[in-house]
Amino acid sequence: MQALFDLAHHSHGQPVPLHVIAERQKLSLPFLEQIFNKLRKAGIVASVRGPRGGYVLTRPCNQVSVGEVLRLTDSSFYAAAKEDPKAANRVLMADEKMSRLLWNQLSNHISAFMEKVTFADLCTETASNTCPDCTCPEYVKDVEGQISRGERRPCGVL
């Protein structure tokens, strides 16, 4: 998430070398290469070869959701709770059923929220999309207006 946010913030439609993102975010370059390979195969980023090469987003940042990226890069986080094989072979107690239902509902709410939050939302709320070369300036202005008018809460505010 850090690396993709960095790309959304710094690229402005131009390729950003992965080693630059790794250095800025203090992340392992081999780790980022694996992650960006998944993102490239999914069509979220594209790689550009050459001396001024690197990675670019393939869509405006308001069309890339946090949920989409999490599903691709951290499936264990995004996966629905799996049934315990031992529990499947026995009758669940009422409190176990209630607990499982509660956690499944919470997981569904978190998943739905992550699908709604885009990288443009994150950039807007951190005031990082103030650059005139932003890939989705109209969206950012609209979100900032909604927040200032009280029509929308910032992502981090419950």
Q: Closest Cα partner for 67 from 97, 108, 104, 28?
A: 108
Of the pLDDT bands very low, low, confident and very high (cuts 50, 70, 90), residue 132 is very low
The SS3 of residue 54 is strand
Rounded distance, CA 66 to CA 62, Å? 10
Strand 54-57 vs strand 45-48: parallel, antiparallel, or unpaired? Answer: antiparallel
> pLDDT tens digits, residue range 73-130?
877 665 544 444 455 445 567 677 778 888 888 888 888 888 888 887 777 666 544 4
Residue-level pLDDT at 140? 65
User: Among the ranges 15-19, 129-133, 135-139, which has the highest mean pLDDT value?
Assistant: 15-19
- Contact residues for 40 (Cβ-Cβ < 8 A; gap 6+): 46, 47, 55
* Interval 10-35 mean pLDDT: 90
> pLDDT tens digits, residue range 30-57?
999 999 999 999 999 999 999 889 998 8
Residue-level pLDDT at 129? 45
* pTM for the model: 0.67
Sequence spans of domains, the chain: 2-148
Topology of domain 2-148, per CATH? Arc Repressor Mutant, subunit A (1.10.10)
Residue 127: exposed, middle, or buried by beta-carbon count in 10 A (0-12, 13-18, 19+)? Answer: exposed
